[in-house]
């Protein structure tokens, strides 16, 4: 492709709203462009990368036995009522009515549609197992769309759904997808980690997420180097430390004027935050009740675990307001589990404590020497967030913590959708049996940006060869110079004949300007025809390492070919 005929739209500066490197670089390199928050257009270079990522996903899905279909984004309300999610999904679901007042949504995911397809199309157990997938646009009205493709309101997902006769079949299908995801993310050159995950809005009883490791990731994971346990903090459990039981002392109410936070109270009373417990009040709109949640003072509440414990929904569980708290005969900043007029949920760690500080439900007062079981009780559960230093639930060694970008998630759905939606097959005895399902998603556009987040430097993007928009660019230092131009054209033609994805920078622009563009865009190989063109010598530069060398033009061409072959890519 001749660059003068392309739509190259690099920018010197990114708009101010771009805060993270990958967002800035995708805009500056002219890969994407947007008009509305969370909604992006793909420009020619960005689209080429997207297509390559999709190709790799498609190849691996097909190899694993997946069958590709393509469903509409428009889904009728009735299907979502069958699964019970029309009400439950909350404000993220983009709903609309047609001119006849019929209600629809734009699919944020496709469990209902695929279950309905399987129900209609698969009648005999001979068709099972089957894995259907698509690469398609999804819609979610995210509260905070941000970081460009990372959290869009419109994004591309590869979603697959497996249908099996029984649990044993599901285990196999799930493992098959787990292995396939590992192959996909390895081929995409991501540094990633599969982790145990919560099942969230999708449901089911087992799940893994695939996390691209990155400091800007919105997910937190804890992992154990010793045994390999790794989990999203939303899901992670920990082994409780064997803390020495403290001698029980008499409960005492103490005056703690204006000491509201755990830091304030531990400083004021000169106790470690680990010897305090905090009580947080939530309003659960699903079950229409208030709950008091008690965790150790130095801990955070894990709201996902809490949602699961309460059988509530994350969109409908919020912190109680100060007025609501007053209505429960307590006061913000001094809440405690003793005598509060709502249900109390106590973290397992607090349930082991025999001498702690708690709020007294009275302004400017706390209790000291409170003991679980003697002074207060509640439903014991695990509702804390795990963190670095906590003990691994499997082997008991201290765990580490890292941030990750969730690029994929797989779920064992079992019969969560097939049962209510009556997606059944007829077994040998003529009985209707619900199909056992799994579902498997990859955020295709998010993955594209995760690659940029992992592969960039101060000059721009460093696309791994397998996903680069073009593999090589040839740049004559001066297009007006006949020798340079003729050598460049010759190499361009040779590479084209070899079916290599090559760009020819035939722009009449300053050399420095052209080089900056290619470094920003991140073409893996940059061949410069400069002052030694008369000797047939060019400069060969690798974007990933920024290493340069002078080579005879034929050698430069064969080097490109070799490198591409070595990557196992087709030419
Ligand atoms: P998150 O927790 O990040 O909101 P999710 O768990 O709701 O994601 P899934 O329902 O598991 O997402 O969707 C499958 C994949 O789709 C995710 O692993 C992620 O890579 C991608 N994805 C989800 N939401 C978005 C979004 N708003 N923008 C871009 N990609 C997304
Ligand atoms: Mg997910």
Question: What's the gap in Å between 203 CA and the centre of ligand 2?
Answer: 11
**Other residues' Cβ atoms within 10 Å of the Cβ of residue 459:** 15
Q: Looking at ligand 1, which atom is closest to the CA of residue 109?
A: 10
- For ligand 2, the distance from its centroid to the CA atom of residue 209, given in whole angstroms, is 7
What tokens were used for 551? 């080579």
Q: Spell out the residues 6+ positions from residue 346 whose beta carbon is closer than 8 angstroms to its own.
A: 294, 337, 372, 376, 377, 378, 379, 380, 381
In short, whether 361's Cβ falls inside 6 Å of ligand 1 is: no
The pLDDT of residue 205 is: 72
- Dihedral angle over CA of 204, 210, 211, 217, nearest 10: -50
Q: Is 110 in the pocket of ligand 1 (CB under 6 A)?
A: no
CB 476 less than 6 A from any atom of ligand 1 = no
The H-assigned helical ranges of 34-166 are 44-63, 77-83, 85-88, 111-121
Report which DSSP code applies to 510: -
The closest residue, in CA terms, to atom 31 on ligand 1 is: 443
Nearest CA to 488 out of 465, 504, 501, 502 is that of 504
CB-based contacts of 370: which residues, under 8 Å, 6+ apart?
Answer: 251, 277, 336, 338, 355, 356, 357, 358, 376
pTM above 0.85, yes or no: yes
| 407 CB within 6 A, ligand 1 | yes
Of 462, 453, 451, 414, residue with least CA distance to 435: 414
Using the structure block, give the residue that is written with the tokens 């708009």: 15
Q: Is the CB of 38 under 6 A from ligand 1?
A: no
Angle at 238 (CA atoms; ends 232, 243), nearest 5 degrees:
150
Q: Is 406 in the pocket of ligand 1 (CB under 6 A)?
A: yes
Do residues 129 and 163 touch, judged by C-beta distance below 8 A? yes
Instruction: Indicate which atom in ligand 1 lies nearest the CA of residue 218.
Output: 3
Most ligand 1 atoms within 8 A of CB, residue of 42, 143, 202, 409 to mutate: 409
The minimum-distance atom of ligand 1 relative to the CA of 441 is 14
Give yes or no for residue 140 CB within 6 A of ligand 1: yes
Q: Of 70, 76, 80, 37, give the one whose Cα is nearest residue 158.
A: 70
Dist. CA 503–CA 475, nearest whole Å: 9
In sequence order, which ranges of 64-98 are alpha helices (DSSP H)? 77-83, 85-88
* Per-position b or e across 333-355, b if 16+ CB within 10 A of its CB: bbbbbbebebebbbbebbbbbbb
Q: Distance from the CA of 386 to the center of ligand 2, in angstroms?
A: 19
* Residue nearest to ligand 1 atom 25, measured at CA: 151
Which of 512, 510, 497, 506 has the alpha carbon at shortest distance from 473?
506
Paired tokens of 567: 């990557």
Q: Which atom of ligand 1 is nearest to the CA of 151?
A: 28
Q: CA 435 → CA 75, 151, 208, 429, distances in Å?
A: 22, 32, 21, 16
Q: Is 157 in the pocket of ligand 1 (CB under 6 A)?
A: yes
Note the helical H segments in 152-301.
Answer: 167-187, 262-269
Residue 202: the pLDDT is 65
Please work out whether the CB of residue 217 comes within 6 Å of at least one atom of ligand 1.
Answer: no
User: CB under 8 Å to 219, separation ≥6 — which residues?
Assistant: 209, 211, 232, 233, 403, 404, 405, 406
- Whose tokens are 């949920």? That residue is 345
Alpha-carbon torsion angle 148, 149, 151, 154, nearest 10: 110
Q: What share of the chain is helix, strand, coil (3-state, %, to 5)?
A: 30, 30, 40
Looking up tokens 């109390």, which residue turns up? 344
Query: What is the pLDDT at residue 322?
Result: 95
Q: What is the residue with the minimal CA distance to atom 27 of ligand 1?
A: 151
- CA nearest ligand 1 atom 22, residue: 443
Measured by CA distance, the residue closest to atom 19 of ligand 1 is 443
- Quick one: DSSP state of residue 272? -
Q: Do residues 448 and 47 touch, judged by C-beta distance below 8 A?
A: no
Peptide bond into 380 cis (omega under 30): no
8 A C-beta contact, residue 563 and residue 465: yes
Residue with CA nearest ligand 1 atom 1: 406
Note the maximum CA span of the chain.
95
At residue 310, the 3 state secondary structure works out as helix
* Distance from the alpha carbon of residue 405 to the mean position of ligand 2, in angstroms: 10
- In order along its 571 residues, the chain shows pLDDT tens digits of 999 999 999 999 988 889 999 999 999 999 999 989 999 999 999 999 999 999 999 999 999 999 999 999 999 999 999 999 998 888 999 999 999 999 999 999 999 999 999 999 998 889 999 999 999 999 999 999 999 999 999 999 999 999 999 999 999 999 999 999 999 999 999 999 999 998 776 666 789 999 999 999 999 999 999 999 999 998 999 999 887 778 899 999 999 999 999 999 999 999 999 999 999 999 999 999 999 999 999 999 999 999 999 999 888 999 999 999 999 999 999 999 999 999 999 999 999 999 999 999 999 999 999 999 999 999 999 999 999 999 999 999 999 999 999 999 999 999 999 999 999 999 889 999 999 999 999 999 999 999 999 999 999 999 999 999 999 999 999 999 999 999 999 999 999 999 999 999 999 999 999 999 999 999 999 999 999 999 999 999 999 999 999 999 999 999 999 999 998 765 5
How far does the centroid of ligand 1 lie from the alpha carbon of residue 112, in Å?
Answer: 17
- Measured from the Cα of 408, ligand 1's closest atom is 18
Q: Running DSSP on this structure, what letter comes out for residue 478?
A: -
Question: Tokens 């002219």 label which residue?
Answer: 30
What domains are there in the chain, each with its CATH number?
A: 3-237+401-453 (3.30.930.10), 252-381 (3.90.960.10), 470-566 (3.40.50.800)
Question: CA–CA separation, 328 vs 287, rounded Å?
Answer: 17
d(CA 443, ligand 1 centre) in Å: 6
CA of residue 12 to ligand 1 center, whole Å = 31
Q: What are phi and psi of 91, to 5 degrees?
A: -70, -5
Sequence-distant (≥ 6) Cβ neighbours of residue 191 within 8 angstroms: 212, 213, 454
Return left, alpha or beta for 57; rule: phi > 0 is left, psi -120 to 50 is alpha, else beta: alpha
Ligand with the closest atom to the CA of 37: 1
| Any ligand 1 atom below 6 A from CB of 443 | yes
- How much distance in Å is there from the Cα of 438 to the middle of ligand 1? 17
């Amino acid at each position: 492709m001749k660059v003068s005929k392309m739509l190259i739209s690099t920018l010197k500066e990114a708009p101010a709203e771009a805060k993270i490197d990958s967002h800035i670089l995708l805009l500056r390199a002219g890969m994407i462009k947007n008009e509305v928050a969370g909604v992006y257009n793909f420009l020619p270079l960005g689209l080429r990368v997207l297509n390559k990522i999709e190709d790799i996903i498609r190849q691996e899905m097909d190899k694993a036995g997946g069958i590709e279909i393509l469903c509409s984004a428009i889904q009728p309300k009735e299907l979502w009522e069958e699964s019970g999610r029309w009400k439950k999904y909350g404000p993220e679901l983009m709903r609309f009515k047609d001119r006849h007042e019929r209600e629809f949504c734009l699919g944020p995911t496709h469990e209902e549609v695929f279950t309905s397809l399987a129900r209609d199309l698969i009648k005999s157990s001979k068709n099972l197992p089957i894995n259907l997938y698509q690469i398609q646009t999804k819609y979610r009205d995210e509260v905070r769309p941000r970081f460009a493709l990372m959290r869009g309101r419109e994004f591309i997902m590869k979603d697959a759904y497996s249908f099996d006769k029984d649990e044993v079949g599901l285990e196999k299908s799930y493992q098959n997808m787990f292995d396939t995801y590992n192959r996909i993310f390895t081929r995409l050159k991501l540094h990633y980690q599969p982790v145990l995950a919560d099942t969230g809005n999708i449901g089911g009883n087992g799940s893994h997420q695939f996390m691209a490791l990155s400091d800007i990731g919105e997910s937190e994971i804890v992992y154990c180097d010793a045994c390999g346990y790794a989990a999203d903090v939303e899901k992670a459990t920990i082994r409780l430390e064997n803390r020495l039981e403290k001698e029980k002392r008499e409960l005492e109410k103490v005056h703690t004027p204006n000491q509201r936070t755990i830091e304030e109270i531990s400083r004021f009373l000169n106790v470690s935050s680990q010897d305090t417990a905090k009580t947080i009040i939530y309003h659960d709109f699903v079950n229409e009740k208030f709950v008091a949640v008690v965790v150790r003072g130095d801990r955070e509440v894990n709201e996902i675990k809490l949602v699961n414990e309460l059988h509530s929904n994350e969109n409908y569980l919020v912190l109680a307001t100060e007025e609501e708290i007053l209505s429960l005969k307590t006061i913000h900043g001094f809440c405690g589990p003793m005598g509060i007029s709502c249900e109390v949920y106590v973290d397992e760690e607090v349930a082991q404590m025999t001498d702690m500080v708690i709020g007294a439900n009275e302004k400017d007062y706390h209790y000291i020497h409170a003991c679980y079981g003697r002074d207060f009780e509640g439903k014991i559960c695990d509702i804390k967030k795990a963190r670095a230093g906590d003990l691994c639930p499997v082997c008991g060694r201290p765990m580490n913590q890292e941030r990750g970008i969730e690029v994929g998630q797989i779920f064992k759905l079992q019969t969560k959708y097939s049962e209510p939606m009556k997606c059944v097959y007829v077994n040998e005895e003529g009985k209707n049996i619900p199909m056992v399902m799994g579902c498997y998603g990859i955020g295709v556009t998010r993955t594209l940006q995760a690659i940029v987040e992992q592969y960039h430097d101060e000059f721009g993007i460093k696309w791994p060869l397998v996903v680069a928009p073009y593999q090589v660019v040839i740049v004559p230092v001066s297009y007006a110079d006949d020798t340079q131009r003729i050598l460049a054209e010759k190499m361009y033609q040779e590479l084209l004949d070899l079916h290599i994805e090559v760009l020819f920078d035939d722009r009449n622009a300053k050399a420095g300007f052209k080089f900056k563009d290619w470094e920003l865009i991140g073409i893996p190989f940059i061949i410069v025809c400069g002052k030694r063109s008369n000797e047939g010598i060019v400069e060969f530069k690798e974007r990933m390492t920024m290493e340069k060398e002078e080579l005879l033009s034929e050698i430069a061409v064969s080097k490109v070919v070799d490198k591409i072959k070595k990557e196992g890519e087709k030419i």
